[in-house]
Amino acid sequence: MITQSTQSKLVFKTDVSQAAADVAEGQFLLNATPAMIATEELRQQRIITMGQVDGPRMRGCMIKPVIDSGEIDDAVCNVSVFGINPIVGHATKDLLGWDIFKLGDLVCTASTLIATKGKYGSEQIGSYRACDTLVYTPTTMGTALAAAYAPAPSAHSPADNTQGYLFMPDLGGVFGLILAPADSKPFNALVTLIS
């Protein structure tokens, strides 16, 4: 779980594609949590933690999407962005499950090779392509949250073979964010929390 500001860290220990990203909207009891985040270990690896409702919070995060270098220049990768909040018991405050809701869709276009995966903190062999063209489209809920809790998410899309990024602000006190690839391309993202 990415929990400290000013550190950049890959979201996924190993690159993921749609096959590993079976996240859906809804309320889920712990024993029915989507497989992508079914265990505490997976949640630690795959949720970008924005903070606790009653504790310290991040102002937002910068997400720099990357695609495996085996994909061609101008390959397109689609990623769904979900918010996640814990569901706790009324009296005991024990964790009962998760409330997951879709905030938007991110379309990433790969460009130039940028670095070996090791330079990004990955233990995998190979290199990454930067995503220099990003288009973020919020859902109706994502639009409503952005209107109520400005600023809105914003994609920096240089389209010039340099790394683009998505800025996701703290929207409505959401506990965390999940990036779920929606196609077969090996995807990852370097994330920096902003305190």
136's torsion region: left (phi>0), alpha (psi -120 to 50) or beta?
beta
pLDDT at site 83? 92
Mean confidence (pLDDT) of the chain:
84
pLDDT at site 58? 81
Q: Which of the pair, 43 or 143, is modelled with greater confidence?
A: 143
CA angle 191, 192, 195 (to 5 degrees): 145
Looking at mean pLDDT, say which of 1-5, 31-35, 72-76, 79-83 comes out highest: 79-83
Task: Name the band, by pLDDT with cuts 50, 70 and 90, for residue 21.
Answer: low
